């Protein structure tokens, strides 16, 4: 039996961890469709579509020297929404959310970045919170194709 801490978590895009990610989260919700008929005295339901959204907090960190061989620049995700022109299907990203050291714990998904905010305050790191909407289903484990 094992447990994981935030130290093992990563957000991977373009095959490399995004530099630097403070945190990420993902939430899946299920729509319930009512099937109650006039004869029923209590409501009944069946599962409907599910949807998944998520968020991450990126740090405004520019890669130095040979770091680009190890990390993906945070702007690779930021540029999918904060750009000139229309957002298109070409702006969909495939990311991997790493929970622990086993790849069976990884969550792989296609998503659109739906919001991004750059915020700063004196003597603090510049943070870039982003939100994303998962497009389609996600899978656990394995490698990004």
- How confident is the model at residue 7, as a pLDDT? 66
Composition of the chain by helix, strand, coil, percent to 5: 10, 45, 40
pLDDT digits (tens, 9 = 90+) for 76-135: 999 999 999 999 999 999 999 998 888 888 999 999 999 999 988 999 999 999 999 999
Q: In angstroms, what is the C-alpha Rg of the chain?
A: 19
Name which residue leads in pLDDT, 102 or 139.
139
Is the full-model pTM beyond 0.75? yes
DSSP string, 60-103: -----GGGGGT-EETHHHHTTTSSSS---GGG-EEEEEE-SSSG
pLDDT digits (tens, 9 = 90+) for 14-55: 999 999 999 999 999 999 999 999 999 999 999 999 999 999
- Token representation of residue 7: 């130290």
Model confidence at 2: pLDDT above 80: no
Smallest CA-to-CA distance from 144 within 109, 102, 101, 100 is with 109
Q: What is the mean pLDDT of the chain?
A: 91
């Amino acid at each position: 039996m094992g447990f994981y801490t935030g130290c093992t978590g990563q957000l991977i895009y373009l095959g490399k961890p995004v530099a630097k990610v403070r945190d990420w989260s993902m939430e899946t919700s299920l729509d319930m469709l009512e099937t109650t008929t006039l004869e029923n005295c209590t409501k009944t339901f069946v599962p409907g579509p599910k949807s998944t959204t998520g968020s991450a907090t990126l740090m405004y960190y520019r890669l130095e020297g040979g770091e680009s061989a190890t990390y993906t620049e945070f702007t690779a995700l930021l540029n999918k929404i904060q750009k000139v022109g229309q957002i298109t299907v070409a702006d969909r990203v495939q990311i991997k959310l790493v929970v622990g050291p086993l790849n069976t714990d990884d969550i792989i998904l296609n998503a659109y970045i739906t919001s991004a905010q750059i915020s700063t305050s004196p003597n603090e790191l510049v943070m870039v919170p982003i939100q994303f909407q998962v497009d389609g289903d996600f899978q656990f484990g394995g490698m990004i194709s």
